[in-house]
């Protein structure tokens, strides 16, 4: 327990001093984000940037042909995919598609934890995106954007990265998965918010990362947090049954869920499974 307490103390102190080593966005994501912020950029130039990265190109094609965009005619080129997604949305989508590259480590044990964390993130994100896809079909003039939720859902747990990287210096703690999980629960939201600031993400995204697991924060209007939390409920990340029940009833009242067990329906599961394919 001494080693575990030492790691926790080190993490807390580094967070206070802003000395924790934070992960960086993949270079391709930085290039896309920079280009997207250029008022002179056009679809052809954006397509050219994305085409230089085979993994991102494949990801963008998957998004363009997914149930998320609800198009039946398949696109086959990066240019067609970027045109379908649109310049306004490509910044968030490309960043989201590049995130898997961040969940890597040369340390075998850390890599195992990161892979597990990424898969859990994708599980939650897939349900969240599926729910918003259904919601936006019913609510035509919502201010919420699917690309914003996609990025938010895929970065909501980004704070685990530096925690696991720091734990690499204390290999004994990996013998106690419960401790690692507790450290992540207690610290990852705060660390994640710091990462999002370092990456230049919006204040809105920083707030989502910081608050998604804080269930004392309950938006009165439909919010991105609701969809991410619904995905977390479905995948049993929130353990308290009465809390889950209260949240689900709230989501039915807000129109996010047509009925309390909607996430168990074949319709919802099929769309979530299709979306999950984008990230695998």
pLDDT tens column, 14-32: 888 888 888 999 999 999 9
Given a contact cutoff of 8 angstroms between Cβ atoms, the answer to whether 127 and 272 are in contact is yes
pLDDT value, residue 42: 92
Q: How far apart are CA 29 and CA 36, in angstroms?
A: 10
pTM above 0.85, yes or no: yes
Higher pLDDT, 7 or 59: 59
- Lowest mean per-residue pLDDT among 8-12, 117-121, 214-218: 8-12
Residue 69: predicted pLDDT? 72
Taking alpha carbons only, the member of 130, 100, 105 closest to residue 118 is 100
Q: Is the pLDDT of residue 3 over 70?
A: no
Stretch (H or E) spanning 184: helix 177-198
Q: What is the pLDDT of residue 270?
A: 94
Q: Is the pLDDT of residue 80 over 70?
A: yes
Dihedrals φ, ψ of 52, to 5°?
Answer: -75, -15
User: Between these two residues, 17 and 219, which has the higher pLDDT value?
Assistant: 219
C-alpha distances out from residue 258 to 73, 244, 251, 262, 265, Å: 28, 16, 9, 7, 11
pLDDT of residue 280: 76
Q: Give the tokens for residue 134.
A: 């259904």
Segment 153-177 mean pLDDT: 87
Can you tell me the distance from the alpha carbon of 4 to that of 90, in angstroms, rounded to the nearest whole number?
Answer: 42
Q: With 70 as the cut, is the pLDDT of residue 4 above it? A: no
Q: Residue 165: which residues within 8 A CB-CB, separation 6 or more?
A: 21, 23, 105, 110
For 34, 61, 62, 73, 271, the CA distances from 84, given in Å and listed in that order, are: 20, 10, 12, 11, 19
pLDDT for the residue numbered 99: 92
Lowest mean pLDDT among 56-65, 173-182, 233-242: 173-182
> How would residue 168 be classed by pLDDT, with cut points 50, 70 and 90?
confident
61-87 as b/e, with b when 16 or more CB fall inside 10 Å?
A: bbbbbbbbbeeeeebeebbbbbbbbee
Instruction: Please give the mean pLDDT across all residues of the chain.
Output: 90
SS3 171: helix
Write the Ramachandran bin of 230: left for phi over 0, alpha for psi from -120 to 50, otherwise beta: alpha
pLDDT at 235: 96
Q: How far apart are CA 113 and CA 160, in angstroms?
A: 9
| Interval 93-120 mean pLDDT | 91
Is the pLDDT confidence value at 72 over 80? no
Q: What percent of the chain has pLDDT over 70?
A: 97
Based on the number of CB atoms within 10 Å of its own CB, is 105 exposed (0-12), middle (13-18) or buried (19 or more)? Answer: middle
Q: Which domains does the chain have, with CATH numbers?
A: 2-23+103-279 (1.10.3210.10)
Rounded CA-CA distance 63/95 in Å is 12
Closest CA to 170 of 107, 101, 104: 107
Q: What is the mean pLDDT of residues 63-89?
A: 85
- How confident is the model over 196-202, as a mean pLDDT? 92
Q: Is pLDDT above 70 for 71?
A: no
pLDDT tens digits for range 142-164? 999 999 999 999 999 999 999 88
2: pLDDT confidence band, cut at 50, 70 and 90? low
**Of 204 and 176, more confident:** 204
Cβ–Cβ < 8 Å for 241, 275: no
DSSP letters of 7-42? HHHHHHHHHHTT-SPPP---HHHHHHHHHHT-TT--
């Amino acid at each position: 327990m001494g080693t575990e307490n030492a790691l926790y103390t080190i993490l807390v102190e580094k967070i206070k001093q802003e000395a924790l080593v934070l992960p960086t966005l993949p270079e391709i994501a930085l290039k896309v984000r920079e280009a997207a912020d250029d008022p002179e950029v056009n679809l052809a130039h954006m397509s050219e940037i994305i085409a230089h990265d085979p993994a991102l190109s494949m990801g963008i094609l998957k998004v363009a042909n997914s149930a998320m965009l609800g198009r039946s005619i398949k696109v086959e080129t990066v240019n067609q995919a970027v045109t379908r997604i649109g310049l306004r949305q490509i910044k968030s989508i490309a960043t989201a598609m590049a995130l898997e590259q961040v969940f890597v480590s040369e340390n075998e044990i850390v890599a195992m934890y990161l892979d597990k964390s990424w898969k859990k993130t994708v599980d939650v994100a897939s349900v969240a995106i599926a729910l918003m896809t259904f919601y936006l079909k019913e609510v035509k003039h919502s201010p919420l954007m699917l690309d914003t939720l996609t990025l938010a859902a895929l970065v909501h747990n980004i704070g685990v990265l530096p925690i696991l990287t720091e734990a690499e210096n204390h290999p004994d703690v990996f013998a106690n998965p419960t401790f690692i999980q507790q450290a992540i629960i207690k610290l990852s939201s705060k660390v994640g918010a710091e990462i999002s600031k370092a990456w230049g993400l919006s204040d809105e995204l920083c707030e989502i990362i910081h608050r998604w697991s804080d269930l004392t924060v309950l938006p009165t209007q439909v919010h991105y947090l609701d969809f991410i939390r619904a995905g977390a409920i479905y995948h049993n990340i929130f353990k308290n049954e009465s809390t889950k029940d209260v949240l689900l009833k709230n989501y039915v009242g807000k129109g996010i869920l047509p009925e309390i067990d909607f996430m168990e329906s074949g319709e919802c599961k099929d769309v979530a499974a299709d979306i999950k394919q984008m990230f695998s």
